[in-house]
Amino acid sequence: MQNKEYIVALDQGTTSSRAIIFNQSGEIAGVAQREFKQHYPQSGWVEHDPQDIWSTQFSVLTEALTKSKINSSKIKGIGITNQRETTVIWDRKTGVPIYNAIVWQDRRTAEYCRSISDKGHGPLIQKKTGLLIDAYFSASKINWILDNVKGARKKAEKGELAFGTIDTWLIWNLTNGETHVTDVTNASRTMIFNIQTMAWDDELLEIFDIPKSILPEVKSSSEIYAETSNEILSHQIPIAGIAGDQQAALFGQMCTTKGMVKNTYGTGCFMLMNIGKKPVISKNKLVTTVAWQIGKEVTYALEGSIFIGGAIVQWLRDELGIIKKSADVEKLASSVEDSNGVYLVPAFAGLGAPIWNPDARGTIVGLSRGANAAHIARAALESIAFQTVDILRAMESDAGLKIKELRVDGGATQNNLLMQFQSDILSSTTVRPEITETTALGAAYLAGLAVGFWKDIEEISKQWKEDKKFEPNKKTKTKELLEEWHRAVNATVYWAENK
């Protein structure tokens, strides 16, 4: 008979907070979700109210327990996974944030990052952190808050302020201000954490003018950090796992062997490859990140980001009006055999890895008189797969590894046409798992390992089950299609650079 005990994953995302309760078989026993308000005070600025993040996250935790009729005494541990890089600074005494959370998408510090780059700090920062200088990461956001909130720098130097990514902010609140910690995966996204020494780096702190006193203690991804406060829940529950959302998804997909790769198809796409126990610094404009740390053992990953993935389908729906709902895109795109020579480069927010051109803008090429809505829909879907191939080839080159299969998750993976084309164009197997909530599952697994809910990774690996496997169609003219795609990308870059 199965033990009626559970693990809760708190999945704090960019637009909503969720709580998912998992049983020992890794199945979902309860779930609750709540969206919260996005703030756009100026063009390119994106903020969240940290109190909204905390209140929605706490309310979905209690709601999931109530709805599933599970007593908190049956919860053996809490795992946390979160939107990464988003930055909060608060007063240690009052616990009140001194400014809104600056979200990972925020571009206000782009100019400041350019000035850091112009001083020649790029190679040192990449060597120490695995990251490319960009407003995306936390360091420049911290610097902005300290410089732009009255009296913040003075307070920080006196040790009166605390900085945290969202995992840190949630734990501070869950423990009623008793615990100020983060894990190695979130720390590795700040641009002030040295992934070679696995510690905050004094030289980087000096470059970004950040006092060490505000930083949380860095822990592994799977250990008991603290227990929830008596004032929060009726039973004290160990908080025992933390991982940034993409690293959690890599673990939830059980990509625990060097060379295994997962791609999450959301608004954008995030691809991570397990590169083993030594960090590899990318020569192809990818970032190197900490995948997780269990015990003393650190695992690293290469990561590539596609800015516009599933968002291209929303654009077809909302701006072009050629579909009524997102799910309709598969039927429309399937009504034609191919894209009829149409290529769509969805550089609406610039091009991410491995091009990194922030000035690029979306382009459609190859239009003829016979091109119609179905061809454009098909070209839009194919653009997601093409971008994925470009990142994967860059990863293979950096890591010196050839991939055998791609594990996929996220909303767009329900689109069988896209998944089949992805397999064709990659010339390798694409595998969709039964449980696609891999981000929350990864956080639950990390917490469960720490409290002995699951014995080891081997036991967890047996729970991973495939839903559908897509094998490549040998008849697909992969080489020609990719050559044409790269011509389209080059046209997009040319347009951006020749103003």
- Is 281 a domain residue? no
Residue 105 confidence (pLDDT):
82
For the chain, report the end-to-end CA distance as a whole number of angstroms. 69
- Is 290 a domain residue? no
Secondary structure (3-state) at 459: helix
| Joined tokens for residue 467 | 């839903």
- Is 445 a domain residue? no
Q: Mean pLDDT across the chain, nearest whole number?
A: 91
- Is 85 a domain residue? yes
Which residues are known binding-site members for glycerol?
Answer: 84-85, 136, 245-246
With a cut of 60, say whether residue 177 has pLDDT above it: yes
Residue 174: CATH number of its domain: 3.30.420.40
The secondary structure of residue 321, as a DSSP letter, is: -
Which residues are known binding-site members?
Answer: 14-16, 18, 84-85, 136, 245-246, 267, 310, 314, 411, 415
Residue 1 confidence (pLDDT):
33
AA letter at 440: A
Which residues are known binding-site members for ADP?
Answer: 14, 18, 267, 310, 411, 415
**Residue 444: its H or E element:** helix 438-450
Nearest to 333 by CA among 384, 385, 376: 376
What mean pLDDT do residues 467-491 have?
91
Residue 3 confidence (pLDDT):
58
Residue 211: exposure state from Cβ atoms within 10 A (0-12, 13-18, ≥19): middle
Q: Between the CA of residue 437 and those of 9, 24, 70, 261, what are the distances in Å?
A: 11, 15, 20, 17
Secondary structure (3-state) at 306: strand
Residue 290 confidence (pLDDT):
97
Note the pLDDT tens digit of each residue in 314-365. 889 888 898 888 888 999 999 999 999 999 999 887 887 788 787 788 999 9
AA letter at 310: G
With a cut of 60, say whether residue 2 has pLDDT above it: no
- Is 198 a domain residue? yes
- Is 419 a domain residue? no
- Is 489 a domain residue? no
Which residues are known binding-site members for sn-glycerol 3-phosphate?
Answer: 14, 84-85, 136, 245
CB-side neighbour CA atoms (13 Å) of 369:
0
Domain extent, residue 117, equals 4-244
Which residues are known binding-site members for ATP?
Answer: 14-16, 267, 310, 314, 411
- Is 135 a domain residue? yes
- Looking at the structure of the chain, the number of domains it has is 1
Note the pLDDT tens digit of each residue in 261-308. 999 988 788 899 999 999 999 998 899 999 999 999 999 999 998 878
Top pLDDT among 5 and 325 is at 5
